[in-house]
Amino acid sequence: MKIGLFIRPNSQNPAPVLKAVIDFLHARDQEIVVSKTAPRELIGDYDFITFRKLDEIPDYVDVMFSIGGDGTFLGAARLMAPTEKPILGIYLGGLGFLADVSMENHEERLSSFLNGKYRVEKKSMLNASVIYAEHTENYFALNEFVIDRGRAMKMIKIDTFVDDDYLNSYRADGLIVSTPTGSTAYSLAAGGPIIVPHLDVIIISPICSHSLSARPVVISGDQKICINCQGFSEDVSLVGDGQIRVHLDKARRVEIRRADFKLHIIRFEGDSFFQTLRTKMGWGHDIRGN
């Protein structure tokens, strides 16, 4: 099996986990594939690793292992999702909601994977089309797209439509359009609801709206959100998964809809969304000690 390893140099000390994963896979005769741009001080001096250009890896490998936090996973997700090949998250600690494998259980779970003892969970992604006068640019996100005011010191006006039906003109610091997966990320911090992953919906959440009546709205996953960009300053941007930034001052509008493909994530027996919520959010524990 060809297994890609996706890492980011600024991940929280990935070297020990990376070495353990490489040694484990090599001992079981798996081909390990890494980007040519990956820092060699993290990869080590292994002579059996296959190095390829990053944009060649999705078509070459059978599966991608993301080693890091949720930010690393989001980058791997955008790379792999169009191929609909699976991705496995190996986390280094922290709050992460997306990865299931840790340093403590990596041998057990990687063995389960190699033995076919896993399931594939399919997650919706978002496609944002930034429409200019003469061309259109498309971007993808797993968690959310955000209309961000940037460095502007005042709120912005965000004219928002759903399926060409006028919804609202939000006067706010920004607007979040998220998937169910992203409902536990930025949207949650902005007061949005937690959505179970299998629901086919999109969440629209204003950021610090100057109106007490402005509340998150949940729409069908089949619907399209259109945002009018006329009047935006050069500070206003579209931000995807906190990693992509596109300035909107020259755009006419942004259209956000569910992507035509889904991200395939490897899950194991015993994994539970509600168990993850309890663990990551600290639920089920009485902090008073009662």
Residue range 21-34, pLDDT digits in tens:
999 999 999 999 99
**Tens digits of residue pLDDT in 109-118:** 999 999 999 9
In this prediction, residue 130 carries a pLDDT of 98
- Which residues have C-beta within 8 Å of that of residue 103, sequence separation ≥ 6? 16, 17, 20, 92
pLDDT in tens, 153-190: 889 999 999 998 999 999 999 999 999 999 999 999 99
What pLDDT is recorded for position 276?
81
Segment 262-284 mean pLDDT: 85
pLDDT of the residue at 84: 95
pLDDT in tens, 225-271: 999 999 999 999 999 999 999 999 999 999 999 999 999 999 998 77
Three-state secondary-structure class, residue 186? helix
* Residues comprising the chain, all counted: 290
Residue 214 reports pLDDT greater than 80: yes
Q: What angle do CA 237, 239, 244 make, to 5 degrees?
A: 115
User: Taking all residues of the chain, what is their mean pLDDT, rounded to a whole number?
Assistant: 91
pLDDT for position 229: 96
- Catalytic residue numbers, as ranges: 70
pLDDT band at 138 (very low <50, low <70, confident <90, very high): very high
pLDDT for 245 equals 97
User: Model pTM?
Assistant: 0.91
DSSP summary character for residue 215: -
Burial of 117 (0-12, 13-18, 19+ CB in 10 A): exposed
Residue scoring higher pLDDT (54 or 44):
54
In the chain, pLDDT over 90 holds for what percent of residues? 73
